[in-house]
Amino acid sequence: MRAGTVRIVRELSSSPHTSGRAILAEKSSAASVKSITLNERVWKFQTVIRNFRTAIAFCLKGLWIEKFKPFLLSINTFTRWLKAHVGYSGNECADQLAKEAITKGDPFLLPKPLSYLKSEIKSAALSIWQDNWDNGETGSSTHDIEPRVSNKPVGWNREEIMFVTGHGPFPSYLHRFNLRTHDSCSSGEEGDPMHYATKCRFTLSWHFQTPTVSLKLQWLKNILTNNLSRTRLRLLMFFICDEKNLIVEDNN
């Protein structure tokens, strides 16, 4: 090193990629100051892209793009919009070829995937099932609550199904299949699910508020969507099944 006093000054840099910068300042007769950067990565993006042609050359990559770079960077290359159907030969030729491709081109048949076939079969099966469900002679009470068929279960348990369908230890159900001589409860009224849920004196602990005729369907839907009401309904059905000899009038 030439004669002179060397002073090292370390200053923090504001760059997130540089921890510090050391500047060696050499005092000489010519008073020249030289700065060098120590332990600093050289980042290629520090170079300012000053014009459009340089930006294209820097950013665009790929085999085909490399081939078209000379045209894009050419001084004589420019882009502008053209109106359609005003007599430009290039546009007219392109339109004509497009029409011929649509009307005279060979059909391109692409085999459909297996997933499409499965979807079509499922859709057809659900359609047939829905038609049978809508036009069936049985299950009308359940159809009113669940009008749409689905592969997903409704989530009802055994007691809730018995109450909704009426297929359980009810005098009205047993009488319909000639398993009893009458359909009366021990209280003297018709022993159907609604009677035991709202009127029967033997099931008073699990009674629900009696709905009007027009709101009966909505009343039942509300019970099946409320956890507390469903719990009460299950307890009611447990009692009916366990104490059927008490609440059902003697068959004789």
Q: Could you report the per-residue pLDDT of 8-50, keeping only the tens digit for each?
A: 334 434 444 444 444 433 444 444 444 444 344 444 444 444 4
| Residue 219 belongs to some domain of the structure | yes
| Residue 134 belongs to some domain of the structure | no
Q: According to the model, what pLDDT value does residue 125 have?
A: 96
Q: Which helix (H) or strand (E) covers residue 24, if one does?
A: strand 21-27
Residues 166, 100, single domain; the answer is no
Cα–Cα–Cα angle for 86, 87, 88, rounded to 5 degrees: 105
Domain range for 98 = 42-104
The structure tokens listed for 74 are 């050419």
| Residue 252 belongs to some domain of the structure | no
Q: According to the model, what pLDDT value does residue 126 have?
A: 96
Question: Distance of CA 220 to CAs 92, 139, 152, 158, 182, Å?
Answer: 68, 15, 20, 16, 26
DSSP state of 21: E
Q: According to the model, what pLDDT value does residue 235 have?
A: 95
Model confidence at 163: pLDDT above 90:
yes
Q: According to the model, what pLDDT value does residue 76 have?
A: 65
Model confidence at 122: pLDDT above 90:
yes
The structure tokens listed for 142 are 């359940």
Model confidence at 52: pLDDT above 60:
no
Q: According to the model, what pLDDT value does residue 59 have?
A: 56
Give the residue, 111 or 16, on which the prediction is more confident: 111
76 Ramachandran zone, left/alpha/beta (phi>0; psi -120 to 50): alpha
Residue range 149-154: average pLDDT? 91
CB 84 within 8 A of CB 91: yes
Residue 157 neighbours by CB distance under 10 Å:
11
| Residue 202 belongs to some domain of the structure | yes
DSSP state of 57: H
Q: Which residue has the tokens 């709202």?
A: 198
Q: According to the model, what pLDDT value does residue 97 have?
A: 86
Domain boundary among 104, 127, 148: 104
CB 174 within 8 A of CB 184: no
| Residue 75 belongs to some domain of the structure | yes
Model confidence at 194: pLDDT above 70:
yes
Domain boundary among 104, 121, 150: 104
> How many domains does the structure of the chain reveal?
2
Q: According to the model, what pLDDT value does residue 118 have?
A: 94
Phi, psi of 186 (to 5 degrees): -65, -20
| Residue 125 belongs to some domain of the structure | no
| Residue 184 belongs to some domain of the structure | yes
| Residue 193 belongs to some domain of the structure | yes
Question: Distance of CA 106 to CAs 73, 103, 113, 133, Å?
Answer: 39, 9, 22, 45
CB 20 within 8 A of CB 36: no
Residues 174, 100, single domain; the answer is no
